[in-house]
Amino acid sequence: MDDKPAKREVHSGVAVTLLVVLALLPILYVLSIGPAFKAAGGSFTPTMRAFYKPLDWAAGVYPPFGRALVKYVNWWDSPRDE
C-alpha cells in the first residue's frame, strides 16, 4: 500500500489548522484589550499601552473602529451583578 495520500492529508490538515490559528490571532488580539483592561484594575499600564499601540493607531486612522473599541473597553469596565 502507498502511504503518500495519508501523509498528504496530514500535511493539509496541519496547513488548515495553521491558517485558522493565524486568522484568529488578530481577532483575539483585538478582543483581549477588554479583559486586559479589567485585569489591570481599569487603567492602562505603560506595558499595556505599548502592547496595544497598534489598536490606538488604528482607532486614530478609522474613527468608527475607535468608537467601537472604546465602547468595548467600557463594557468590560462597567460593573455587573455577580
Local confidence pLDDT in tens for the 82 residues of the chain? 555 555 566 678 888 999 999 999 999 999 999 999 999 988 899 999 999 999 999 999 999 999 999 999 999 987 765 5
Spatial distance between the Cα atoms of 68 and 56, rounded to a whole number of angstroms: 12
- What integer pLDDT is reported at residue 23 of this predicted model? 95
Angle at 30 between CA 68 and CA 39, to 5 degrees: 95
User: How many domains does one find in the chain?
Assistant: 1
pLDDT (0 to 100) of residue 31: 96
- The candidate with the shortest Cα–Cα distance to 36, out of 63, 62, 23, 55, is 55
What pLDDT is stored for residue 4 in this prediction?
A: 59
Does 27 reside within a domain?
A: no
> Is residue 69 a part of any domain in this protein?
yes
Does residue 12 sit within a domain? no
Residue 42 forms part of a structural domain: yes
